[in-house]
Amino acid sequence: MRKYLRMLLFVFLSPSSLAAVGDGATLLKLCQAEEKIESANNASELADVLQCQAYVEGVFTGYSMVSNALNLREKGVESVCVPEEVKLKQMILVVQKYLREYPEKLHRGVGELTMTALKEAFPCK
């Protein structure tokens, strides 16, 4: 079972699987629509916001599921510890900030960039 979960984690975070989702430049574009959600007046802007939310939440949820299945926290090897009170909006802001601060990394996969941003903002102690 653990071998299967490790393989799943590897496949989930591998660059080839993330390429299908998109790169950092795409995610940044999608997430910028989040900032103007109050004034979004067309379906395209709303679709961008929903995609941004889905990418960030999906990557984090996938990581959390694998982390829980492998008991990474109990083993002391979990690398991202987002407090329960942190909402999706805050995680998106963290990812946006990271993408803006490191434009040289925008060619990388969405999963890698999202997890790196969250790891820097919410490291496990």
> H/E/C letters for each residue in the chain?
CHHHHHHHHHHHHCHHHHHCCCEHHHHHHHHHHHHCHHHCCCHHHHHHHHHHHHHHHHHHHHHHHHHHHCCHHHHCCCCECCCCCCCHHHHHHHHHHHHHHCHHHCCCEHHHHHHHHHHHHCECC
Does the pTM exceed 0.95?
no
- 95 or 37, which is more confident? 95
The predicted structure's pLDDT at residue 39: 62
Statement: residue 15 has pLDDT above 50:
no
The predicted structure's pLDDT at residue 122: 96
Q: What is the mean pLDDT of residues 2-24?
A: 50
The predicted structure's pLDDT at residue 125: 79
Count of domains observed in the chain: 1
Tokens 């690398």 correspond to: 79
**What are the tens digits of pLDDT across the range 34-56?**
776 666 567 777 888 889 999 99
| Enclosing domain of residue 83 | 2-121
Q: What is the C-alpha separation between 49 and 87, in angstroms, rounded? A: 15
The predicted structure's pLDDT at residue 42: 74
